[in-house]
Amino acid sequence: MTNVVSQIEGTGAADTSNEEAMILDSVEKWLERDVRPHVLRLDHADEYPHDMVVQMKALGLFGATISTEYGGLGLNATTYAKVIEKIAETWMSLTGIINSHLIMAACVERNGTEAQKAAFLPRFATGELRGGLGLTEPDAGTDLQAIRTRAVRDGDDYVINGAKTWITNGIEGSCYALLVKTDPEAEPRHKGMSMFIAEKGEGFSVSGKMEKLGYKGVDSAELIFKDYRVPADRLIGGEEGRGMQAALGGLELGRINIAARGCGLASAALRDSVAYAQTRRTFGKPICEHQAIQLKLGEMATRLQAARLLTYDAARAYDSGERCDMEAGMAKYFASESAVENALEAMRIHGGYGYSKEYHVERYFRDAPLMCIGEGTNEIQRMIIARQLIARNPVD
C-alpha cells in the first residue's frame, strides 16, 4: 500500500491522462483485493469498515482534492469524480466517508484564513483529523437558513448550543465544519450564519448510530452541543456572516460526488445485469437474446453514459472556478435518478435472485434512493436549475 501512495503522491495534481489512469488503476486494484470480497458481510452486518479506512488513509484518499501545498493529492474534480464512481461501483458507503470529509476540507481551503489552512489541511489530508459537515438539523434540512444552532461570542471563545442530525462520520469522525447562527436577527437570514471548525471535546456529544434502509457500514448520527466552547480563531474566514457562502461552495463539490456515486451504482447495476443476462437461460436461450431484456439493457447503458457526461461537465465547471450550482444540480439530479432506475431494472432482470441478499443487486436497490435525497433533494435541484436558467438568460 505504501508503494501505491508514493506513486500517487509523486504525480502532484492529476492533470494528464497517464496520471489519472495510474490513480484509477491503483484504486481499482485496492477495491478488487481489499474491498469487494468483504462488501456483503460488512453491509449485511452494518459494520464500520475500520480496516478499509486505514487503507484509504494510506492511499491518500482523505486528501484527494486538497492541494499538494498542504499534503493532498490535488486531484481535479473530474479525476476525483472518476475515483468516486469506481469506489461506488464496488461499495457506495465508502464514498460517503470520503465525501463529507472533503467537503469540510473544501470549506476550509476555499474560505479559511491562511493560519486555518496551514493548521488543519495537512491533518485533513493524512486523515489524522477526519470528519464531515454539520448542516442538517431536526427542523432544518433543505432550508438551511432555518437552523437554530447558536454561537455566542464570549471573550476569546464562542459558546455553541444546538443539535445537528443525519451527520455522516458523526461517530467515527473527530472534526466538523459546523454551520451556526451568530446573529439570529439578521436580514436576510443568511447574513447571520457562520461556520466553525469544530473538534470533538467537552460539551460536544454524539447520539447512537441512526438505522438506515441502505448506506450501511458508514455511520450517521446526531451531534449535540451543550455549552460547547470553540476558540474564536476557528471561525472559518475569521469573519461572521460568511457561513452560508462556505456551505454552498462545499455543496457544489458534494453534489458532484453524489452524481459520481449515482454513476457508480448505475454502472454496477448495468454490469451485473449484462453478465447475468448472458448466463441465465429461458425458453432455450440466454435471456440477453430476448427483446424485452435488450430494451432494458440499452436504456440502462444510455442512461449511464448521459449521467457520466453531465457529471464530468459539472466537474469541469467546478475546476474552472465558475459558479456551477446549475451544472452540479443537473448532474446530481440525473445521475441519482439513473441509479434508482438502473437498480430497479437490474432487480427485474435478475428476477427472484435480484431480491436475494446473496446478490449485490438488492443492495443497489437499497442504496440508490439516498442519492435522490442527500446533498439537497432532487426537487430542490430542479428548482435551482430553473432559477439559474432564468438568471443566466434574462429577457432584455
Judge contact between 132 and 170, C-beta under 8 A. yes
Cis preceding linkage at 286, omega within 30: no
Q: Would you state the pLDDT for residue 141?
A: 76
Give the angle subtended at the CA of 257 by the CAs of 254 and 263, to the nearest 5°.
150
Give Cα 38 distance to the centre of its chain. 21
Q: pLDDT of 215-258, one tens digit each?
A: 999 999 999 999 999 999 999 999 999 999 899 888 889 999 99
What pLDDT is recorded for position 8? 43
pLDDT for residue 249: 84
User: Closest Cα partner for 181 from 249, 120, 227, 135?
Assistant: 135
Q: Among all chains, which residue has been given the C-alpha cell 489524522?
A: 128
The H-assigned helical ranges of 193-324 are 243-279, 291-319
- Domains observed in the chain: 2-126 (1.10.540.10), 131-242 (2.40.110.10), 245-392 (1.20.140.10)
Residue 235's φ and ψ, nearest 5 degrees, are: -70, 115
Q: Kindly give the parts of the chain with pLDDT less than 70.
A: 1-16
Closest CA to 234 of 186, 200, 269: 200
CA angle 122, 127, 129 (to 5 degrees): 80
pLDDT at 138 (0 to 100): 87
Q: What is the pLDDT of residue 248?
A: 86
For the record, the C-alpha cell of 188 comes out as 436576510
Active site residues: 375
Cβ neighbors of 358 (< 8 A, separation 6 or more) are: none
